[in-house]
């Protein structure tokens, strides 16, 4: 089945252009060369998910399968996600991703004024904080 006829995995169909070979190899058969393909498949949306773990797409993001250096250990929708080191991950088996800090805390839903003030105050855990918010002067 080609991509133009594919509505997603939840209707019981699969793409013939994707081949899973063993536990560590996935092959994508493209109709033509696509220069940005390596970049696109490096995005989180391309993380492989075992079918048994992908039964509720509306809540999957709360407890996703951890294949990289971190795993979700706490999640409050719209508020906070905590990522801790994945004990099943090793740098020897994954030359693409690296593990930085032991824990990552993602605070969500903060307004820009709060983000700026926390970064300026530079206290406690905010001393190692970063922001990807678009902050205008």
| Domain co-membership, 42 together with 81 | no
C-alpha span between 93 and 121 (Å, rounded): 40
Same domain, 66 and 12: no
State whether 70 and 129 are in the same domain.
yes
pLDDT, tens only, 12-41: 778 888 888 877 788 888 889 999 998 888
CA angle 126, 59, 67 (to 5 degrees): 70
Question: Which pTM was predicted?
Answer: 0.67
Do 130 and 112 have their domain in common? yes
> Do 91 and 134 sit in the same domain of this protein?
yes
Q: Which two tokens stand for residue 55?
A: 């039964």
128: β partners: none
pLDDT 10s digits, 98-137? 889 999 999 998 988 899 899 999 999 999 998 887 766 6
Cα torsion angle, 67, 68, 74, 77, sign = negative
**Residue 33 is part of which domain span?**
1-46
What is the tens place of the pLDDT at every residue in 42-98? 887 777 888 888 888 888 877 888 888 999 999 998 899 999 999 989 999 888 888
62 shares a domain with 36: no
Only one residue has tokens 């250990």, namely 73
Q: Is residue 51 part of a domain?
A: no
């Amino acid at each position: 089945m080609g991509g133009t006829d594919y509505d997603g995995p939840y209707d019981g169909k699969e793409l013939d252009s994707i081949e899973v070979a063993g536990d560590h190899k996935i092959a994508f058969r493209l109709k033509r060369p696509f220069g940005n393909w390596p970049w696109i498949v490096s995005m989180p949306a391309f993380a492989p998910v075992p079918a048994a773990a992908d039964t509720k797409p509306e809540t999957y993001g709360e407890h996703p399968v951890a294949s990289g250096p971190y795993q979700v250990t706490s999640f409050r929708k719209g508020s906070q996600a905590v990522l801790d080191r994945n004990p099943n991950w090793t740098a020897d088996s994954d030359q693409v991703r690296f593990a930085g800090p032991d824990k990552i805390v993602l605070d969500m839903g903060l307004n820009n004024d709060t983000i700026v003030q926390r970064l300026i105050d530079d206290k406690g855990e905010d001393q190692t904080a970063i922001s990807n918010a678009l902050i205008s002067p």
